[in-house]
Amino acid sequence: MGDRFERLTNLVAVLLDTRRPIPLDELIDRVPGYPSDHESARRQFERDKDALRGLGVPVEVVEDAFGDMIGYRVDPKEYELPDLDLTGEERAALHAAVSAMKLEGGEGREALWKLGGLAGEEAPALGALPTVPTLPALTEASRRRSEATFRHRGQVRRLQPFAIIFRRGNWYVVGHDLDRNDRRSFRADRIEGEVAVGPPGAFDRPSDFAADALMRDEPWLYGEEPAVEATVHVDAVVAAWVIQRLGESAVVEGGAEAGDGAVVRMTVTNREAFRSFVLGLLDHAVVLGPPELRDDVVGWLRTIAGVAR
Amino acid sequence: MTRPMAADRLRRVLALVPYIVGRDDVSIAELASAFGVPEKVIESDLEILPFCGLPPYTPDRLIDVAIVDGHVSLRFAEYFSRPLRLTPAEGFALLAAGRGLLSVPGSDSRGPLGSALDKLEQALGGEALVEVDVGNPGDLEGLRAASEARQRLEIDYYSFGRDAVTTRRVDPLAVVSMRGNWYLAAYCHQAADERLFRVDRIRAVRQTGEHFEAPRAGASAEVPADAFSPSEADTVVTLDLPASAGWVAESYPVLKAEERPRGRTRVVLAVSAHPWLERLLLAVGPGAKVVSPRSLKDTAANAAKRVLAAYDG
């Protein structure tokens, strides 16, 4: 097993140490460990190059003015980590964060190796965050102000990603949807396949952008239907939970501590999601109005109950 | 499987070499602690390095490793004197964990963690606006204080699954945030076992004035990876669902899912509480059928009648 490690290490060393791009044949010839058969050696090199790029080594392909390949190299300026100038306290704080907030499958410890090692003590676990494979690419796109293109629930979306947000158990990317010409948010775990990141500097994040306003997880607002204002009575058993979910501003009457519950207001642009939310509360919630929404829920329940309208 | 191992080792070594080169006096013990691996791993990394270097791989071109009394020095590795840049995944991992910890109520964003994240973003080439909101439900701070002081509590808890409020005496062990919800991990005297309580469903907290002993080591706060994992008390239910209910298999931990004609799906679920099944069936609507057990086949109709009664009331 030492063989491949040695070859990969030697490959990085020679590519970093050179200013002149090194042609493939020369690399295969000079770095020990490649098969003598040229075609096998070339394939092996391709796999090595992919492994190095997978680790983040910026293996550069240099071409001449006619587009013909001259060779490979690694530019130290692209390879080397800039000095972050972290204090010992700051490194310890990062270590504590990585150990306290466990990102599932996260590579925080490996990152800390590069920043001067794991400093200080591990912190006791305080929480866990899920992760999604597309998040690093979306974050990079947001940082570089690059357009992100991806498939989301079967549709191709082109987005100027303003922010990456975790809320209520899910990661979202929020930004300006170029095709719909409107602010949109997308659940990152519903993105299918890879995210294509465009050239940097493609947009400016609006100065008045506030992620919060967009990011309430209210599926009854994720829809294109004409907006209606619904009022719902929730009893004392669930009132506190519902008010926490919707915010104090949704309360029309009563409250979390009131003996007979509360009446809350909800703006609805997705009737199906609204119905699911209300039925999730079982007999603790009753839609008061408008008649259109109340009738929809009652009709739905009557069909399930097998009772004639 | 040598390939991922070689790449993993290279990743560590490309950070290990600059760490050693940048310090005058470094011991194997220090390296093991800085990299969070056993000393043996560091030793084997160092054993292999002298075989690496530049063509023509003569002694002055190979990395020179000297270990004297457990202290390490390196020569001829100038090209590895700086660590490799952070990958997008590594940068994201630090940002997400850091922003996550800063969003916990009571954190200080102007402390060393905040300034470390600012420096990190600068080094990565600009601010990406990663925001983590872990929420701040009801009595989070009070529960954390009680857990630290080992105060026995009495809580009124709304069980969403069972749709009922119960009063329990609990010994709070830890308060943790998991996938967007805060949980109280506690020993529950009613259940005579450890339980997880969602903090936003704790309706009231009362002090009992009693204290409890520290739990035995390893007993506390290990949050199960899957809060849905079926237990013996669960009923196994088979449902026949219409095509419109494809989300059920995505959103619920189904034990088995099977395609049926006309886009229908047959799913097998472990159901711990009756109201949980009612909610699922009411949301899916008229097209859903309970295949087994037979005793549950009227669940949806009965639940619908009960909710309708609330509308008549």
- Characterize the bridge pairing of strands A127-129 and A101-103: parallel
Burial B130-152 (b: 16+ CB within 10 A, else e): bbbbbbebbbbebbbebbeeebb
pTM equals 0.77
Which of B80, B90, B283 has its CB closest to that of A280? B283
Question: Which residue segments constitute the domains of chain B, with CATH numbers given?
Answer: 6-123 (no CATH), 140-211 (2.30.30), 235-312 (3.30.70)
Query: What average pLDDT does the structure give for chain B?
Result: 86
Kindly report the CATH number that applies to the domain delimited by A2-79. Answer: 1.10.10.10
Q: What is the largest CA-CA distance in chain A?
A: 84
Find the closest chain A residue to B89 by CA distance: A136
pLDDT digits (tens, 9 = 90+) for B144-183: 999 989 999 999 998 877 778 899 999 998 898 887 788 8
Contact A6 B52 (CB under 8 A): yes
In percent, the amount of chain A with pLDDT more than 70 equals 95
| Set of chain A residues whose Cβ sits within 8 Å of the Cβ of B135 | 168
Using a CB–CB cutoff of 8 Å, tell me whether A300 touches chain B. yes
Using a CB–CB cutoff of 8 Å, tell me whether A244 touches chain B. yes
Instruction: Judge contact between B152 and B138, C-beta under 8 A.
Output: no
pLDDT digits (tens, 9 = 90+) for A231-250: 999 998 888 888 878 888 89
pLDDT band at B224 (very low <50, low <70, confident <90, very high): very low
Query: What average pLDDT does the structure give for chain A?
Result: 90
Q: Which of A210 and B260 is assigned the larger pLDDT? A: B260
Domain spans of chain A, in order of start: 2-79, 88-129, 135-206, 228-308
Q: What is the pLDDT of residue A216?
A: 58
Find the closest chain B residue to A302 by CA distance: B304
pLDDT band at A186 (very low <50, low <70, confident <90, very high): confident
Distance from CA of B10 to the nearest CA of A (A): 7
Q: What is the largest CA-CA distance in chain B?
A: 92
d(CA B53, CA B268): 58
pLDDT band at B3 (very low <50, low <70, confident <90, very high): very low
User: Distance from first CA to last CA of chain B, Å, rounded?
Assistant: 67
Query: Average pLDDT, stretch A155-170?
Result: 90
For residue B149, give the H/E element and its range.
Answer: helix B140-149
Instruction: Judge contact between A109 and A98, C-beta under 8 A.
Output: yes
Q: Which of B248 and A13 is assigned the larger pLDDT? A: A13
| Set of chain B residues whose Cβ sits within 8 Å of the Cβ of A111 | 86, 90-91, 93-94
- For chain A, positions 133-172, list CB contacts with chain B under 8 A: 135-137, 139-140, 142-145, 162-170
| Domain A135-206 listed as CATH 2.30.30 | yes
d(CA B107, CA B104): 6
pLDDT band at B2 (very low <50, low <70, confident <90, very high): very low
- In the predicted structure, residue B220 carries a pLDDT above the cut 60: no
- For chain A, the DSSP string reads -HHHHHHHHHHHHHHHH-SSPBPHHHHHHHSTT--SSHHHHHHHHHHHHHHHHHTT--EEEEE-TTS-EEEEEE-HHHHBPPP----HHHHHHHHHHHHHEEETT--HHHHHHHTTS--SPPPPP-EEE---TTHHHHHHHHHHT--EEEEETTEEEEEEEEEEEEETTEEEEEEEETTTTEEEEEEGGGEEEEEEE--S------TT--HHHH----GGGSS-SPPEEEEEEE-HHHHHHHHHHH-GGGEEEE-TT-TT-EEEEEEES-HHHHHHHHHHTGGGEEEEE-HHHHHHHHHHHHHHHT---
Contact B87 A136 (CB under 8 A): yes
In percent, the amount of chain A with pLDDT more than 90 equals 64
pLDDT digits (tens, 9 = 90+) for B62-119: 999 999 998 999 999 999 999 999 999 999 999 999 999 998 888 888 899 999 999 9
For residue B41, give the H/E element and its range.
Answer: helix B39-48
Q: Give the three-state DSSP class for B203.
A: strand
